[in-house]
Structure 1
Amino acid sequence: MPAAPTKPWLWSRSFRFRLMVTAVVCILVPAFMTLIIYNMLTKDAVKEEAVVQSRQKLQLVDGYVANLFDYMLYITNTVQNDPAMSGVLKEIAAGKVYEGPNGEYERFLDQTKITSKIDNMTMYGDKAYVTILLNDGTKFTNYSISDFDPIRLREEAWFNELDTLTGMESLWIGTTPTVFPIERVSSPYQISMGRTLRAGVKPYGYVFVTIMEKQVSDIFNRLSDGQETMLLDEEGVIMSHLEKERIGQSFTHDGESEAVSRSEIVNVGEESYILTAQKQTLTGWELVSLTPYKQAVFKLNSIFNRVAVLQLVSFIVFVLLLVYLLGNFTRPLVRLGKMAETVQRGNLEVRSNIRGSDEIGYLGQSFDLMLDRVKEMIAEVTATQSRKRKAELAMLQAQINPHFLFNVLNSIRMKVMRGGDLDSAEMISSLSKLLRMTILQNKDTIPLHEELSTVADYVQLMNMRQKEKAELRLDPSPDTLMCKVPRFFLQPFIENALIHGLSQRAGIITISSWSTAQETFIRIEDNGKGMDRDRLEELRGRLEAGGERSGNGNNSGGKLSGIGLANVCERMKMTYGESFRLELESEPDSGTKMTMNIPKLVEEAKKDV
């Protein structure tokens, strides 16, 4: 036969679920399409605005850095073009002789004039170190020569390039290690520039202006919020950076351009950055900033996100309202479905109480009437079975005259005792008690302590039959002794432990009990040979399925009651319903443990409460 076609997942669900899913999908699809279009329209605008903001920040930094370099250029221009300074410097460079009684005083006046000019230029501006070095070795500085001797400048590799400069050209030396001891701790690098002083075409000296690299990086720190800003020379080597260890390293990136100003998106590792570059016309150096793209668009996205959140909240409220209304409309159907599941588990007392003039109301009323009829039929069948069982039991008990039997057993016991055979007398007494419990008791339930006494007599009788005696240990909790239990229900468990667990050899069988407000727990343990996993699973399956009443010959072989474990389980379930549970645990050579969870009768539960 061809296999039945498989239904789609959605159509295998409940009607209520399908209705809700369909309604929600009809809302979600347009909402997501709107959201996608919205993102597409705003993405480019957010990116463009982020680039513009990044460029504006870098232009602000460039203005401050350019002012700092203009200040250095201003100092060199003043030294070169100020008539008073250039005149004195040219005279000294030309070999001015200080003679006569006022010679040294004139020398002092010339030197003071130069140093005063330098001090005045650097007093109110950014801190700068100024050096004027003449060809004859004369030097003027605004710092102590003990900190650094300007003559050492002639040893630098770039010094000879100064002679190639013409007019107002300057040599921007760039970043070098700081030579001033007092500055090395705070700024390990310095930035310098130099210019040649000429009289006509012939140089007569040089002027140098030095600032600390920290003065540039402080501008980065103050103005480049959220940006990684750096100053690069013509070769792409980092000259200034907040991280001093980066100075001197090469910085390369894709999309390099000779444009004066540019902005682009570049990838560094797995992150995207907005790269903005601004080339300085004064020095030829380049300011570069890297801004994390996510960070740059965060504030802009937050505005759009607020709108999206508002839309999402409105959407969720609408969906919840829709689901609530659909839930109210379909709640009677759900009640009918749950009630059908409850009836399937065996509870026939539930009723839907659904009434109305529509189809659902008619269905609920019909379902309730059907349950009423089923309950009546079950009551009739149960009453008939009960009468039948009582009649069979009466016929069985009528076959034996109990009083005659007990009198005869008592006479035999007394005669045996007079003969001195106390063991046999005790055995007959135990047998008499068992028969009295079996035949004369007309109650379905007895206290647990009576059942334990009966079990003790049974074990004593069984020990009379066996070569090796089994020890019965009773450990009941005092609050369980008066609990009502079915009559003679422990005997099959003890019989199973003696014959199968201990194999009619010496061993220990322990019966313990404890209780809660709603249940009584009884555990039977033996230290016999136990069972392997396959046998244990087989036994569990038989007990869950109701088992075979006689087992594998359980009614023969010398067993007293002939009632198997499966029969007891079935009897307990008939008495207590599905609330009764029997748990089996066993391992080879480690014994077997059987635990029963017996629900308390209504009267007992009320007493405990």
Structure 2
Amino acid sequence: MISRLRELAPKSIRHKLIVASIACILVPAALTLLIYNSLTQEAVKRQAIANAEDSLQLVNGSVTNSLKGMLTIANYVQTNPGLKAYFKLAAANNVSGNEYQRFMDQNRVLEQLDTLTVVGQNSYVTILLTNDKYYMNYSVSDYNPLELKKKPWFRKMTELKGLESYWAGVEPTELAYDKFDHPYQVTVARTLRLDSTEIYGYAVVTIMEDQLHDIFGNLSAGQKVVLLDGENHIVSGGDPESIGKPFPYVNAVNSLQASEVVAIAGERYLVVQQQLSFNGWRLVLMQPYKESIVDISSIFNRVFVIQLISFFVFLLLLITLVRAFTKPLVRLGKVTTAVQRGNLLVRSGVRGNDEIGRLGLMFDQMLDRVKEMIAEVSDTQARKRKAELKMLQAQINPHFLFNVLNSIRMKVMKRGDPESAKMISSLSMLLRMTISREEDEIFLHEEIDLVSHYVSLMNLRQKEEARVQLDIDPRAFLIKVPRFFLQPLVENALIHGLSQQPGVISIRADVEESYTVLSVTDNGLGMNEVRLESIAGRMQSAGTEMSSGHEEPKGSFSGMGMSNVVERMRMLFGEDFVINVRSEIGSGTTIEMHIPHREEIRDV
């Protein structure tokens, strides 16, 4: 993966500058656009919710006025002294006067009921007394008030107290004259009581549902409002066929604590709801979220497009300037390529007062000097190649040894002995790391592979197998460490910690801000405090062989003791390198190293 990334990395300085410039512009611009987009969406959402709440507030006021108008009529009937006195006498069959006088009194009552409708909406008022006398502002041919007693809600009227009202909700229109043009009606009822709280009559006020529905027609496009009763049935609004039926999205709406955007039936809706203050009903506004933000988001989209165009314009300008500034470097690069191919006569001709001009001059002078020295070097190199050839002929090629071991492994594998083949493979890998690698520092992942092969060899030698458990931060794999610095720790854990018994050796690496914490832990025998303090003192001097509680065994594969490891680590990383040993009898031993970060770790 790392080699693949290196192949894809830009090769020329011009491309590196362009990529760096693009990155320096693109990353902040992308972050800015992402933050802008996030904030914009949140601002658009808040504005859309505020607009919807304002719209619903206006609807709420109109609906409240309409419904409170019904209550006003009921209050007037219940509190007007003249009407109240007349209805009490009529309920007790004590209306005085001759027949003409009684007729005139009844007409005055009916005229007063007719005047109650002059409040901006048609209201149908019915006064039904307990002796089955009734008074209303409509014709009995349209509807017989005695039919009210057959309604299911009429029996609940006895439960009302004082000025309490019963909202019957929405019902099919009973008035014959209005049934076809106005299919639904909304009714509120109230009891008329004597001072002894005995009921002597009922005041029923009815309006047509479409008077409420007309209020919802003034909303913005896409906004739909429904009026729900206390049982979540639709009183008004929405599809006419849904009037009186349960609200289909009641579960989604009831789960909201405030105005919010929710997914309903696979589409996002803006949902706003407000409670009516007097009867437990509520208004619910639903609008497709896309339609609610179309006007607001268009403004933000224009700003976004302008920013995007500006970004690309400045990016093209930057690339043009970088190309102009790096043109002499490209010329130097082409000359270098020609020199690499063997053409020592080519010259760059790059001159100037800046660093690139001076570099071109010195490069041309260097080529002149190289041409003069090449003759002298040719003779020396020829003699050197002859000496190296003779030396190579006198040595055994390590690759010959690896190939022979690989051939032996294949033959053993073919003969059905996979364990021996595995041992030969691990041995070949260890020899390759020992013989063919000249550098003293390797990557940590190579050291981990080396330890894995070593444990595999040790498991083949002993009866019980030990298991290596790795927990390595991926960033730690590319730090440079000395070769064979983990193998002595693992070897001591195998031989002395686990005493060649089955167990687990855990290798853990965590990358901190300024150092990497690397630990080797076994679940073996452990050691006492006296031995632990002795080892801690010896680690400070790093002059003697030691391990996690035992002397380094002679004949170990690496040939390096613990003291050698500590000394090499301190030579490489300085006094900032710290090593600690923790152990308890029966709980195993942990060796923890704090490896300081050098310059190269900051690039990992």
> TM-score, normalization: structure 2?
0.49
**Which structure is larger by alpha-carbon Rg, 1 or 2?**
1
